[in-house]
Amino acid sequence: MTTDLDFLDLDRLLSEEERLIRDTTRGFVTDKVLPEIAGWFERGHFPRELAKELGELGLLGMHLEGYGCAGTNAVSYGLAALELEAGDSGVRSMVSVQGSLSMYSIHRFGSDEQRAEWLPRLAAGELVGCFGLTEPDAGSDPASMRTTARRDGPDWVLDGTKMWITNGNVADVATVWARTDEGIRGFLVPTGTPGFTARPVGRKLSLRASDTAELVLDGVRLPGTARLPGGNGLGAALKCLNEARFGIVFGALGAARECLETALEYAGTRTQFGRPLAGFQLTQRKLADMTLELGKGMLLALHLGRLKDAGTLTPEQVSVGKLNSTREALAIARECRTILGGSGITLDYPVLRHALNLETVLTYEGTAEMHTLVVGQALTGLAAFRG
Ligand code: TGC
Ligand code: FAD
């Protein structure tokens, strides 16, 4: 929380080190992201050049141990995600995919050789990674994926299409999940391998400062060593998602905080009917309600972060946090837009940009509906998403 909006004094729940990481990340966003982001969003530009700076700051794979990773605790990782997303969800997405999906999949499920080959350069931001699970016909239901990997002598041959892949056009290595005779398996695909192509997803109205790709794998031949030895079953892919979803629990609240700060400032300076908007009871109610939701969201995020650091966080608890943070952040962004009136629809203010981004954040890493059903299943023992 910023000092201004830290209504509940949650700052005191953080350690010195956590505050330092948060403040360093905030400084980076203030210097490097905020002056440029409206232009990047307008032009649909993905700032690939930020990767090295994010690496130098230790923000890539920051919660992983060894191989050049910073090895911070989970709360620090969450706070960094929050500050990055206060800049833009696209920048946080780049960091989430690099650290929690690409690097985590290698760190957790890779061989020693794979870790040594890829992780140091991914941590430094010299290389970019992506994570291909979703397909054109397999989104919420990744178990229905059609991408295949078949044995051919000592090699693997991959065929299929992955859709909506963040970082996909600029990635050096893709973690690709494919169906084999033995079930779903994870593979590391260097993107220069013949048969691998990436195409930008165009006409996006959300996450415009993020790179989104369709990946086509057409007879991509890989050595036997390209398989992630521990990446067995859909559960392995979902374990990676838990990491990225955790980052979103904090991250989305950063976008909400930025919107609320903007609306508060605007309401204090914009005058109608002879008084500032902030003086109208209806505006104060909006501001108070949003402050409540932001504070509750932060408390929940911090609690989940402490559970993660204690090693007891469950996937269902992550679903509670992802659902709450994304739903409330989007509601806050939309409400703030109303306070800005017509000015709220432009890129002169960050509010509608955040709202548009949050439409994606509500959807990726498991839609709000899927997380609702995960919680419903945990409560009832009945999986309502399958017929
Ligand atoms: P189901 O039979 O329930 O589970 C299969 C196996 O996985 C285990 N499992 C989990 N393990 C760890 N973490 C989780 N969250 C897990 N959820 C399930 C489960 O115990 C089982 O293990 P085992 O040993 O019994 O085999 O699987 P299902 O096919 O019925 O599906 C469950 C469902 C619907 C919850 C799952 O498919 C799901 O989460 N769907 C949403 C898909 C999704 O989130 N896709 C995200 C793609 S990546 C992305 O969006 C990146 S955005 C990037 C950015 O930040 O820019
Ligand atoms: P669908 O699964 O078709 O769902 C459409 C609607 O139906 C949703 O509202 C959904 O909740 C609802 N629905 C589906 N099933 C049920 C059910 N059983 N009960 C009730 N409602 C249901 N994926 C990756 O693998 N890697 C990435 O890097 C990545 N980055 C992304 C970046 C962007 C910008 C976007 C937009 C997506 C990204 N994704 C990525 C994909 C993302 O995870 C999927 O979009 C998401 O999982 C939803 O899948 P879908 O879009 O196919 O929607």
Going from the Cα of 381 to the center of ligand 2, the distance in angstroms, rounded, reads 23
- The residue nearest atom 20 of ligand 1, judged by CA position, is 235
pLDDT > 50? residue 1: no
Which of the four pLDDT bands, split at 50, 70 and 90, describes residue 330?
very high
pLDDT of residue 387 exceeding 90, the answer is no
Q: Which tokens belong to 66?
A: 């060894």
- For residue 386, what pLDDT is reported? 87
**Residue % of the chain over a pLDDT of 70:** 99
**For 32, which DSSP code?**
I
Question: Average pLDDT in the 75-91 region?
Answer: 98
Active site residue 214: no
The pLDDT value recorded for residue 7 is 93
- Give the distance (Å) from ligand 2 centre to CA of residue 330: 17
pLDDT at 146 over 50: yes
Atom 16, ligand 1: residue with shortest CA distance: 238
Pocket test for ligand 2, best of 133, 367, 373, 385 (most atoms within 8 A of CB): 367
Q: Give the model's confidence band at 316: pLDDT under 50 very low, under 70 low, under 90 confident, else very high.
A: very high
Element (H, E) at 87: helix 74-87
CA dihedral 283, 289, 295, 301 (to 10 degrees): -120
Residue 3's pLDDT is 44
160 neighbors 204 (Cβ within 8 angstroms): no
Q: Are 58 and 24 in contact (CB under 8 A)?
A: no
Q: What is the mean pLDDT of residues 117-142?
A: 98
With CA atoms as reference, report the closest residue to 158 among 172, 145, 141: 145
What is the spatial distance between Cα 123 and Cα 103, in angstroms, rounded to a whole number?
8
Of the listed ligands, the closest to the CA of 374 is 1
Q: Check if 272 has its Cβ closer than 6 Å to any atom of ligand 2.
A: no
- pLDDT reading at 30 higher than 60: yes
Give the ligand with the smallest distance to the CA of 84.
1
- Please name which of 298, 304, 332, 333 lies closest in space to residue 320, comparing C-alpha atoms: 304
Distances (CA, A) of 250 to 29, 256, 349, 370: 16, 10, 22, 19
Q: Say what the pLDDT of residue 2 is.
A: 44
